[in-house]
Amino acid sequence: MSVSQEIKARLDIVQYVQQYVPGLKKAGRYYKACCPFHAEKTPSFVVNPDNQSWRCFGACAEGGDIFNFAMKQHGWSFREALSELAQQAGVQLEKQTPEQQARDEYTDKLRGLLDTAADYYHRHLLSQSDEATRAVYAYAREKRGFSHETLERYQIGYAPDDFQKMRRALQDLGYTDDEIVDAGMAIRKEDTGRVYDRFRNRLMIPIRDERGRVIGFGARALSKEDNPKYLNSPQTPVFDKSKTLFGLDVAKKAIRDTGMAIIVEGYMDVIQAHQAGYLNVVAQMGTSLTESQLIKIVPRYANQIIMALDADEAGQNATRRSLEVARKALQADYAGRLSVDLRVLHIPEGKDPDDFLREAPQRWPEIIADAQPVADFVIDLETADLPRDAGLPARQAVAQQILPILTASENNLYTQDNLQKLSLKLRIGVEDLMAWAQRLQPPPQSEQRLAPVITDDQADDGLPPLPYEDELSGSAVEPPLFFDDAPHPVPTRDSARPSPAQALRRLTAQQPALTGRHTSIAAERHCLRMLLKQPDLLFQANRLLRELAQTDPTLINGPLADMNLDDFSQTEYRMIMQVLLRAIDQDELEPLEFVQAHLDQALVSDLTQLLITDVDDIHGQLGGRFGADFSQHWTTFQRKTLPGLNVPTSVVRSLVHLRNQRLKRETEELMFLSNEAESRSDTHEQLQHAQRGMLLMRARRRLADALP
């Protein structure tokens, strides 16, 4: 049993999901709720306790096991999910090298030191034990406008006006000067070696990573003489400001729910927004947004970013730099994962977000709705100082600055309105601007390998009408109940009309079952092993699926899409398949070499096991007996027992069997949702589920015809 299988054997997916989806309720064999990954009113999220899996039949159209849920819920990599779930399950992961173990233990110790420091500062502020702490508490409440609950929620504290107080407190707990300096809590003078506290007489804001662990501090000066006004922790083994977004640990759920992230300049802005109830706000750490910060949000949590930086000159320059970073990241991402709607927020009267939210928090949604498309902002900003009598070279230089931003924007990709506006501003013909923009356009996005599963809100796209659909449309024609290519008798108007759920049940009952050895984990292992050794077999399987789809777009883009990681039920195989698909899309390395180079270290042993041939496997089970003669005996055995076996055909057939088993699981779970809708007399939802179910059935009938 692999480590991930042992973890899944010890953790129940229902109990795990319920921690993050409190509305998950038992309904028959399954559990259902509104999907936690997109906003919806009708529950389309199903957890199957029998096979310990989940699936969203709504807009997400995703599913998987406890690992996939943890990765999507928290934004974790597979390694992070493995580590966290192993800890919860009490499973020991593979032993690290002594160097890795020492490094991890040291970073954990530094995080513990920082957590202790945050608690110390916080308790010191709330104690109000002397005149200094009382003054700082009053400043935080009255000047900054923080409630007592906010002070506690964000663990805001106070660093005493003392060069040694924090250092001595940490030393009393057993931390050394080297550890205190490495954590960024103290400074060591190079000439004398003297160690003293970095933060003194400052309001302390703990900076946390997206998992909520303290990794550093932001410190606001309390005296006019202290510079800089805001002082962050330095770069440390646990803190890299270029990769950190302040407040993401609190904001990530709201960002996912709204699909929008609002990026502000400082942590005071974030805390004030969160206190007002606007939780989808985070702050960049530094003078501009970085690519590492951008990809923490897009596409994991949001597809719209609103830059709400300060209105002063520094804020405008930061916005300009951030947009340039975003442009480079967007244009470099040829796969299109980072497509994003960028907008810029203008706060009335030149206020910063902190001031505006304290004065008029109720108006925040109003100004967010009026955020300016990035194209308009850039045009206005870059042409503001251009003299009316500027010559052509100056106007052309401005155009060359603006057009790259426009071509990187998802919603303003050199639209006619923007080009007309730029043309008027610069007095340059629209045709010339279009020609320049086309030359600046990045290479076309590569074709997406993972075709989207058809969603509930997509059109019928040629599917026959469903039972009762004629009543909703006013038609007097009775629709056929079945949908496959062979003709079926049309029910007479005198016959009892089935509900959509009943129709789906009848279709399911008629669907031929494909069972046998292909339903086992061994089949998945065999298929993936052969794909790793002969990647071209994947193209053969995909060609067969397209032939079965017969140019029907609802099948090609849905249940008969190209093979992908969702065709595998085992976590390890899904992750390896994901890397293999990337390997096939590149040309620098052989696919297997690419997989070996890019696979997470936690999966290396699983890959090694996959690559062991049948002869190696059986020879090992026999304890290595028969020596060199074993291979010859095995070859003779294969020739006698498997005459005429066509390996490529067999593998392709096995891959198609895997797809059928996946569609079978989805059909059963979809029928559960349909039955639930029928019990609530929700005709509209029944129609949606029945339509999806019919599409799955159509695909399964064609798979059955292709597999004798």
- Which CATH number goes with the domain that contains 371? 3.40.1360.10
Q: Among 43, 58, 89, which residue terminates a domain?
A: 89
∠ Cα 559 564 565 (to 5°): 120
Q: Which residues contact 121 (CB under 8 A, 6 or more apart)?
A: 157, 158, 159, 204, 217
Would you place residue 599 in the very low, low, confident or very high pLDDT band (cuts 50, 70, 90)?
A: confident
- pLDDT for residue 323: 76
- Tokens 């960049």, residue? 284
Residue 271: is its pLDDT beyond 60? yes
381 within a domain of the structure (yes/no) = yes
Q: How many CA atoms are closer than 13 Å to the CA of 295, on its beta-carbon side?
A: 15
Shared-domain flag, residues 298 and 424: yes
Q: Which of 190-194, 366-370, 473-477, 527-531 comes out lowest in average pLDDT?
A: 473-477
- Tokens 């702050």, residue? 283
Residue 515: is its pLDDT beyond 50? no
Q: Which residues contact 464 (CB under 8 A, 6 or more apart)?
A: 479, 480, 483
Would you place residue 365 in the very low, low, confident or very high pLDDT band (cuts 50, 70, 90)?
A: very high
Shared-domain flag, residues 301 and 320: yes
Distance set, CA 360 to CA 347, 357, 370 (Å) = 11, 5, 16
Would you place residue 601 in the very low, low, confident or very high pLDDT band (cuts 50, 70, 90)?
A: confident
Distance set, CA 126 to CA 113, 114, 162, 195, 274 (Å) = 20, 18, 18, 27, 21
Q: What is the mean pLDDT of residues 32-36?
A: 91
Shared-domain flag, residues 202 and 252: no
Residue 669: is its pLDDT beyond 90? no
Q: Which of 111-125, 311-325, 535-549 comes out lowest in average pLDDT?
A: 311-325
- pLDDT for residue 588: 82
Position 16, amino acid: Y
How large a percentage of the chain has pLDDT more than 70? 78
Angle separating helix axes 416-426 and 374-383, nearest 10 degrees: 0
DSSP 8-state secondary structure symbol assigned to residue 143? I
Please state the three-class secondary structure of 405-417 as a single string. Answer: HHHHCCCCCCCHH
Shared-domain flag, residues 233 and 263: no
135 within a domain of the structure (yes/no) = yes
| Average pLDDT score over the chain | 79
Would you place residue 241 in the very low, low, confident or very high pLDDT band (cuts 50, 70, 90)?
A: very high
Query: Which range has highest mean pLDDT (154-158, 493-497, 567-571, 601-605)?
Result: 154-158
Residue 471: is its pLDDT beyond 60? no
Give dist(CA 306, CA 304) in Å, integer. Answer: 7
Q: Which residues contact 83 (CB under 8 A, 6 or more apart)?
A: 93
Position 199, amino acid: F
Domain carrying residue 330? 245-440
Give dist(CA 2, CA 18) in Å, integer. Answer: 25
Q: Which of 265-274, 349-358, 497-506 comes out lowest in average pLDDT?
A: 497-506
Shared-domain flag, residues 342 and 312: yes
Which CATH number fits the domain that encloses residue 67?
Answer: 3.90.580.10
655 within a domain of the structure (yes/no) = no
Shared-domain flag, residues 235 and 265: no
Secondary structure (3-state) at 197: strand
Would you place residue 420 in the very low, low, confident or very high pLDDT band (cuts 50, 70, 90)?
A: confident
Query: Which range has highest mean pLDDT (44-53, 429-438, 476-485)?
Result: 44-53
CB-count burial class (<10 Å; 0-12, 13-18, 19+) for 426: buried
Shared-domain flag, residues 314 and 424: yes
Q: Which of 418, 384, 405 is nearest to 327 (CA)?
A: 405
- What token pair was written down for 31? 């559990």
How large a percentage of the chain has pLDDT more than 90? 29
Query: Which range has highest mean pLDDT (7-11, 543-547, 607-611, 678-682)?
Result: 543-547
Q: How many domains does the chain have?
A: 4
Which CATH number fits the domain that encloses residue 195?
Answer: 3.90.980.10
Position 374, amino acid: V
Residue 644: is its pLDDT beyond 70? no
Q: Among 30, 62, 89, which residue terminates a domain?
A: 89
Q: Are residues 246 and 273 in contact, defined by beta-carbon separation less than 8 angstroms?
A: no
668 within a domain of the structure (yes/no) = no
Query: Which range has highest mean pLDDT (153-167, 254-268, 681-695)?
Result: 153-167
464 within a domain of the structure (yes/no) = no
257 within a domain of the structure (yes/no) = yes
- pLDDT for residue 481: 29
640 within a domain of the structure (yes/no) = no
Shared-domain flag, residues 163 and 281: no
Helices (H), 550-603: 553-556, 571-584, 591-598
Q: Which residue has the higher pLDDT, 593 or 236?
A: 236
Shared-domain flag, residues 188 and 304: no
Shared-domain flag, residues 119 and 82: no
Shared-domain flag, residues 210 and 290: no
- What pTM was estimated for this model as a whole? 0.59
Shared-domain flag, residues 221 and 112: yes
Say if residue 643 is preceded by a cis peptide, omega within 30 of 0: no
Q: Which of 125, 153, 149 is nearest to 139 (CA)?
A: 125
Q: Among 374, 406, 440, which residue terminates a domain?
A: 440
696 within a domain of the structure (yes/no) = no
Torsion, Cα of 72, 73, 78, 83 (10° steps): -170
